[in-house]
Structure 1
């Protein structure tokens, strides 16, 4: 992480960031007003957001963490902040955030916080993926010093590469790409995300 990023993620940013419950409530409240996060409140963006709420609700209920991952998370004895850059309309965020929230719930040493990408582009621009502002992006900080420990995102494991190959394929339309993306998540059932975090938590601890 650059010196700039260390200066940008301040205790004030962390204090003002949302919990998972607050993030979910914000999305519901915005939808009630016919809005989503960010500045684009088009019908398409609202539809993405509505689908994402359904995805998150389903994952909140159905996703189960493996016993080995639970054990590993519960063994963390340092205080961490997991800061996630996200937006309500982002399908990848909806597919991964509920699993991340379940992980953070396993250990009081891990504080999970959310900020909106488009309100914090200065921070986002320190964590680009192949030059793009891809979300969700999780940054793990030491809670006391706010020194960066590691990052994850925007997609699990090797799926990021596969998704980019599909996106660059001229024969796959944007609509078809989104369909393939969400089918992969449905088939994977959070396994690759959990495998990522088993590896990362071992490295971060």
Structure 2
């Protein structure tokens, strides 16, 4: 973590961050007003948010964590805070966050919290991906000292590779690119993110 990030992530940051239940409730309340998170409340962005609520609800019910990952989570003897930078309109966030929440629920040693990217750009800018403000971004912190242990995001590695290939292909429209990406998530069934976190937990526990 850079010095700037160390100064930005404070106990207040964590205290004011949303729990998953609070995050979902906040999104529902905004949708009742035909709004989403951030400043862009266009029909398109609200539509994305509605789809993401459906995605999160579906994954909340369907995710089954691998036994090996559950074993790693159960054996964790460090206390971590997972701070996730996100937005309600972000499709990648909706596809990945439920799996992250399921992982955190398997152990008393992980507290997962959520903050909105556009309300925390100073923090987001410490965790850019290829120069961009890509989300979701998870920052694993020591729960007591808030020292950074590691990061993950915005997508599983294979999804990121495919997404970049599709994005660079001029024959693929933005709409088709999005369809391909969400089809990948549906077929992968969170295996990618689970595998990567099994590896991360090993690394972060050393």
TM-score range, shorter chain: over 0.9
Corresponding residue number in structure 1 for 2:41: 41
Corresponding residue number in structure 2 for 1:15: 15
Corresponding residue number in structure 2 for 1:177: 177
- The answer to whether structure 1 residue 72 and structure 2 residue 72 are counterparts is yes
Give unmatched runs, 5+ long, in structure 2: none
Corresponding residue number in structure 1 for 2:119: 119
Deviation at 1:157, TM superposition (A): 2.1
Range moving further from structure 2, 152-161 or 20-29: 152-161
> Following superposition of structure 1 onto structure 2, how do residues 8-157 of structure 1 map, counting pairs within 5 Å?
8-157=8-157
Cα separation, 2, equivalents of 1:82 and 1:45: 26
Cα separation, 2, equivalents of 1:180 and 1:38: 26
Matched residue of 1:126: which SS?
A: coil
What TM-score do you get using the length of structure 1 for normalisation? 0.99
What TM-score do you get using the length of structure 2 for normalisation? 0.99
User: Per-residue displacement from partner, 1:93-135 (whole Å, max 9, x unpaired)?
Assistant: 0000000000000011100000000000000000000000000
Cα separation, 2, equivalents of 1:126 and 1:161: 22
C-alpha root-mean-square deviation of aligned residues, in Å?
0.5
Paired residues in the alignment total: 205
Matched residue of 2:176: which SS?
A: helix
Deviation at 1:74, TM superposition (A): 1.0
Matched residue of 1:158: which SS?
A: helix
